[in-house]
Chain A
Amino acid sequence: MSVSRKLSRRQFIRLAGATAAGAALAACAPATTPAPTAVPTVLKGGKVRIAVGGWAEQNMKDLLAKTEFTKKTGIDVEIVLRTDTKETELTRLASAVQSNTSPYDVIDFEDELTTSFSQAGYMVGLDDLLPADLWDDFSPAMVDYTKTWSTLNGETFRVIHNWEMPYWFYRKDWFDQKGTAIPTTWDEVKGMGAIFTDEAKGNWATIDGLTKGAFLNVYLAWVTLQAGGNPFDVGPEYKAALEYTYDLMYTSKALNPASLQSSYDQQNSAYLGDKIAFMRQWPYFGDVARNDDNKAWFADDKVAVGLPPVGPGGKGGSTYAAGWGFGIVKTSPNLAEAKELFKFLVSTEVAVEAMKVGFWFLNARKSVLAAADPDNWLVKSLKMYTDAGVIGVRPHHPRFVEALTIIEDTAAAYLTKQSSLDESMNQAKDQLAKLV
Chain B
Amino acid sequence: MQQIHVRRGIETKARRPVTALPKFNLSKSAQRRYLLFILLVAPAFVLRLTTAAYPILQTLYLSFTNLNLLANTNEFIGLQNYPELADNYGVQASLSFTLMLVVGSTLLDLIVGMLIALLLNAGFRGVGFARTINLIPWVIPTIVAGYAFRWLLDDQFGLLPYWIHLVSGIRIVPFISPLFARMVVILVHVWKDAPFMACVFLAGLQGVPLDLYDAAKVDGANAWQRFWGMTVPLVMPLTITMGLFRLVWSLGSFDLVYGLTQGGPGVATSVLALQIFREGIMFFKFGFASAISVLLLLLVGLVGIGGLWLFRKADVTY
Contacts and interface: CB of A to CB of B under 8 A. Distances in A.
B283 A418 contact: no
B84 A418 contact: no
B237 interface: no
Contact of B90 (A211, A213, A409): A409
Given A260-B265, A409-B89, A120 B70 contact: yes
A179 to B, nearest CB: 29
Interface in B175-232: 175-178
Interface string A88-132: 000000100000000000000000000010001000000000000
Interface in A169-216: 199-200, 202, 211-213
Contact of A405 (B157, B178, B268, B278): B278
Nearest to B90: A409
A416 B267 CA distance: 11
A261 B156 contact: no
Contacts of A143: none
A410 interface: yes
A434 B267 contact: no
A120 B88 CA distance: 26
B89 to A, nearest CB: 5
B11 interface: no
A138 to B, nearest CB: 30
Nearest to A120: B70
A289 interface: no
A87 interface: yes
Interface string A398-426: 01011001000111110010110000000
Contacts of B139: none
B171 interface: yes
Given A257-B176, A261-B175, A409-B90, A418 B282 contact: no
A409 B283 contact: no
B87 A430 contact: yes
Nearest to A249: B176
B263 interface: yes
Contact of A270 (B156, B171, B268): B156
Contact of A416 (B176, B281, B283): B176
Interface of B is mostly: loop
Contact of B88 (A200, A402, A416, A431): A431
Interface string B69-100: 11100000000000010011110000000000
Nearest to A94: B69
Contacts of A419: 266
A11 interface: no
A253 B69 CA distance: 45
Contact of A213 (B89, B177, B262, B283): B262
Contact of A269 (B89, B156, B177, B282): B156
A418 B155 contact: no
B283 A401 contact: yes
Nearest to B150: A261
A412 B175 contact: no
Nearest to A416: B265
A94 B155 CA distance: 39
Contact of A87 (B71, B176, B282): B282
Contacts of A402: 283
A412 B155 CA distance: 18
B267 A257 contact: no
B264 interface: yes
A412 B278 contact: no
A416 B182 CA distance: 13
A412 B264 CA distance: 8
B176 A260 contact: yes
B57 interface: no
B173 interface: yes
28 contacts: A87-B281, A116-B70, A202-B171, A212-B264, A213-B262, A260-B173, A260-B175, A260-B176, A260-B265, A261-B155, A261-B175, A261-B176, A269-B156, A401-B283, A402-B283, A409-B90, A412-B264, A412-B265, A416-B176, A416-B177, A416-B178, A416-B266, A418-B178, A418-B265, A419-B266, A427-B89, A431-B88, A434-B84
